[in-house]
Amino acid sequence: MTIEDKKFKTIKVEREDGITWLYFNRPEKRNAMNPTLHREMWDALVELEQDPETKVLVLTGAGDKSWCAGQDIRETFRDRIRERENNPGARREPGGPRYDWSWGLLSTFAAPTIAMVNGYCFGGAFPALIACDFAIAAEDAIFGLSEVNWGILPGGVIPRVVRDVMRYRDALYYVMTGDPFDGKKAAEMGLVNRAVPREILREETVKLARHLMEKNPHVLLGAKEAFKVSQDMNYAQARAYVGVRERAMIATDPEKGREKGMSQFLDEKSFRPGFGAYRRE
Ligand code: COA
């Protein structure tokens, strides 16, 4: 049985030409994340990480209105909050801190990941957005850390991770006002790489995915891990870790990219590393 045949209720998976499209799929609820969605995302990501057809993963929202409207205020919060407070074991529930598919799985996913933000992106959706290696938004997508508007804090890892991608003043401004902003503003602040007109959002996403697919996937994973893991280290630790990570990567690279690249540049003189990837068979 392929992953497309699985009977997911709240997500959808489509695979085409190396790109796996993973959808938040509750358009009637603006793709808000309920416990079932958290569980299904976890299961799908665990499976997709082993899938050789998934060269690039794109996370997007079903329908034309919303990427993800954050946590489901009814199902994830109102129906469960008391239960969680009184039961430490519930920390391992879908949506709880020990069941965190976005920061726990997606941010370290083996293949490159792109958030294609096709509409609303609120509150609890921010960790998934920032966990993706790249983000492209529709210019008219609407973002917001809306938590303060309804009486809670941007929770979990949100206050920590918004500072990974936004400047201090911008991050604190939106954490404390809860004001919405559009895709253009998100790009200006560095929350997404680019904002493009909605009509070309998918095309631009596919273009980026194909660009990534030209490169050695083993090396891309090494580069992503070296970047992400070293952020929390001091300089000496980072230097040591990155050195070890690179040696491990070179030693285990199934396509021996380093030798190939050097030989194509130095011996064959058939490519310029400064302008693009070496030729892969
Ligand atoms: N949790 C639960 N339900 C949600 C939801 C959420 N985060 N976001 C939207 N929905 C539901 C609505 O309750 C409504 O359900 P109903 O049809 O059963 O009444 C449906 O989705 C459509 O929402 P509606 O508000 O009518 O759509 P809209 O297009 O006018 O507005 C939003 C869309 C996203 C701007 C608005 O729904 C909203 O502000 N949602 C909350 C966003 C938020 O603050 N998320 C942070 C949570 S951490």
DSSP string, 184-225: HHHHHHTSSSEEE-GGGHHHHHHHHHHHHHTS-HHHHHHHHH
Would you say residue 2 has pLDDT above 90?
no
Ligand 1 centroid distance, CA of 58 (Å): 23
Contact call for residues 20 and 58 (beta carbons, < 8 A): yes
Ligand 1 contact, 124 CB (< 6 A): yes
Is 70 close to ligand 1, i.e. is its CB under 6 Å away? Answer: yes
Per-residue model confidence (pLDDT) at position 97:
60
Mutate to test the pocket of ligand 1, among 10, 29, 157, 174 (most ligand atoms within 8 A of CB): 29
Residues 146 and 235 both lie in one domain:
no
153 and 14 in a common domain? yes
Whichever domain contains 204, its CATH number is: 3.90.226.10
Tell me what pLDDT residue 81 has.
66
Give distance in angstroms: CA of 30 to centre of ligand 1: 6
196 and 221 housed in the same domain = no
Cβ atoms of 122 and 143 closer than 8 Å: yes
125 lines ligand 1 (CB under 6 A): no
The whole-angstrom separation of Cα 112 and Cα 224 is 8
- Rounded to the nearest integer, the mean pLDDT of the chain is 94
Counting the structural domains of the chain, the total is: 2
Q: How far is the CA of 125 from the centre of ligand 1 (A)?
A: 13
- Count Cα atoms within 13 angstroms, Cβ side, for 250: 9
User: What is the DSSP secondary structure assignment for residue 33, as one 8-state letter?
Assistant: B
Residue pair 68/123 in contact by the 8 Å Cβ criterion = no
Residue 280 lies in a domain: no
Q: Does 96 or 209 have the greater pLDDT score?
A: 209
Residues 117, 205: one domain?
yes
Residues 137 and 153 in one domain: yes
- What is the pLDDT at residue 239? 98
**The predicted structure's pLDDT at residue 281:** 80
Residue 94 has pLDDT above 90, yes or no: no
Q: Averaged over 233-258, what is the pLDDT?
A: 97
Domain ranges, residue 233: 217-275
Domain boundary among 159, 187, 213: 213
Among the candidates 173, 189, 213, a domain finishes at: 213
C-alpha 204/C-alpha 193 separation (Å) is 12
Task: Give, using CA atoms, the residue closest to atom 23 of ligand 1.
Answer: 29
The answer to whether residue 89 scores a pLDDT higher than 80 is: no
pTM of the model: 0.95
Closest CA to ligand 1's atom 26: 29
Tens of pLDDT, residues 193-213:
999 999 999 999 999 999 999
Any idea of the CA torsion for 111, 116, 120, 126, to the nearest 10 degrees?
A: 30
Residue 251 domain-assigned (yes or no):
yes
Please indicate, yes or no, whether residues 144 and 228 belong to a single structural domain of this protein: no
Q: Which residues pair with 181 in a beta bridge?
A: 143
List the Cα angle 260/264/268 in 5-degree steps: 140
The Cα 157–Cα 148 span in angstroms is 16
Beta carbon of 120 within 6 Å of any ligand 1 atom: yes
Instruction: Region of 88 please: left (phi>0), alpha (psi -120 to 50) or beta.
Output: alpha
Same-domain status, 92 and 183: yes
Residues 162 and 232 in one domain: no
User: Is it the case that residue 272 has pLDDT exceeding 70?
Assistant: yes
**Do 181 and 106 share a structural domain?**
yes
Q: Ligand 1: does its nearest atom lie under 6 Å from the Cβ of 61?
A: no
In this predicted structure, what is the pLDDT of residue 76? 84
